[in-house]
């Protein structure tokens, strides 16, 4: 079995990434072990299945399966670096955290090394937003599993099944009645199919969005898509394109974490959250990610 070593930058905790990945939900995209996580990935040249674990100065990435030939190392390395946000200099973020007011600094500082855990594509991130809108996460992951099992490739490696996420072309051809039968609402079915058609037809792509000048402009562009509101646009940019300044305002988890952190019973308004994120210019999305992280109970 081939091993690829992916260098770790300063301020990176694989343990924190694992803590996030293993936070108690049955995500069909990941096969979680005690100290490693495995997933399937797809590139232009084909698919691969990898298993990632921690090493002294690098991540150890075991290639369990690959159709990528000589591209394997480059594709796998790129995938892992995007997944765990390894190319970002976290120095400015550390400085902002250390200069933040209490109680934020006290809660965030021990987490430094926690990096954004991204999704493999903007399409998957936006589709996940639609799936998860206004339902509890456990049910949302169940819907994601049903969609993946029905519309995505699955790879059988060493007796285990690894699911990819459906390609836009596959979901673009889905029948709304079939999605409804999976317990998506008709509205979400229509949103998903519409989103998939935009990606399939090239009217929407990571390249097109990345060409826009800044995150607010990207949010405006994504909000023109039916089913993508401000929350989904920002969440999709944060998780799908690693936009560190994208904040999904209105997120119920952010409100809950804010209330818990400040010991308040009053639900924060938009202005409260804007004030919370103000000390982190350019890193508001990272602050949101850390704020979500405070909701996780200590590891058992």
Q: Which residues bind DNA (CB under 7 A)?
A: 129, 132-140, 183, 185-187, 223, 225-233, 235, 248, 250-253, 255-256, 292
Kindly tell me which of 199 and 231 has the beta carbon lying closer to DNA. Answer: 231
Closest CA to 85 of 61, 120, 54: 120
Euclidean distance between CA atoms 268 and 255, whole angstroms: 6
Residue 57: Cβ within 10 Å count: 7
CA torsion sign for 253, 29, 87, 106 is positive
Kindly tell me which of 46 and 253 has the beta carbon lying closer to DNA. Answer: 253
Kindly tell me which of 66 and 276 has the beta carbon lying closer to DNA. Answer: 276
CB proximity list for 293: less than 8 A, separation 6 or greater = 16, 20, 111, 114
Euclidean distance between CA atoms 240 and 121, whole angstroms: 5
Closest CA to 243 of 199, 282, 293: 282
Shortest separation between residue 227's beta carbon and DNA, angstroms: 5
Kindly tell me which of 61 and 141 has the beta carbon lying closer to DNA. Answer: 141
Kindly tell me which of 138 and 278 has the beta carbon lying closer to DNA. Answer: 138
Shortest separation between residue 243's beta carbon and DNA, angstroms: 13
Shortest separation between residue 65's beta carbon and DNA, angstroms: 27
- Given a contact cutoff of 8 angstroms between Cβ atoms, the answer to whether 82 and 118 are in contact is yes
Shortest separation between residue 201's beta carbon and DNA, angstroms: 18
Shortest separation between residue 148's beta carbon and DNA, angstroms: 17
Q: Beta partners for 3?
A: 62
């Amino acid at each position: 079995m081939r091993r690829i070593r992916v260098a770790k930058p300063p301020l990176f905790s694989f343990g924190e990434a694992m803590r996030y990945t293993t936070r108690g939900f049955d995500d069909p995209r990941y096969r979680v072990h005690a100290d490693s996580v495995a997933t399937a990935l797809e590139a232009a040249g084909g698919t691969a299945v990898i298993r990632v674990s921690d090493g002294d100065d690098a991540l150890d990435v075991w290639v369990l399966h690959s159709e990528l030939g000589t591209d394997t190392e480059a594709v796998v390395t790129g995938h892992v670096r995007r997944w765990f946000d390894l190319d970002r200099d976290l120095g400015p973020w550390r400085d902002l955290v250390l200069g933040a007011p209490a109680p934020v600094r006290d809660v965030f500082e021990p987490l430094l090394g926690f990096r954004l855990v991204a999704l493999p594509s903007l399409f998957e991130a936006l589709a996940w937003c639609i799936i998860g809108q206004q339902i509890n996460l456990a049910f949302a992951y169940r819907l994601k599993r049903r969609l993946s099992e029905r519309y995505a490739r699955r790879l059988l490696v060493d007796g285990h099944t690894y699911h990819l996420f459906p390609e836009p072309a596959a979901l673009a051809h889905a029948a709304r009645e079939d999605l409804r039968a999976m317990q998506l609402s008709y509205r979400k079915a229509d949103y998903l199919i519409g989103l998939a058609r935009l990606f399939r037809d090239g009217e929407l792509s990571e390249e097109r969005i990345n060409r826009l000048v800044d995150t607010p402009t990207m949010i405006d562009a994504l909000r023109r898509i039916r089913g993508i509101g401000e929350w989904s646009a920002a969440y999709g940019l944060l998780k799908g394109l690693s936009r560190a300044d994208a904040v999904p305002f209105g997120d119920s988890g952010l409100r809950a974490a804010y209330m818990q952190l400040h010991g308040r019973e009053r639900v924060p308004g938009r202005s409260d959250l804007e004030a919370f994120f103000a000390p982190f210019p350019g890193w508001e999305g990272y602050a949101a990610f850390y704020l979500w992280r405070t909701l996780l109970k200590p590891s058992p």
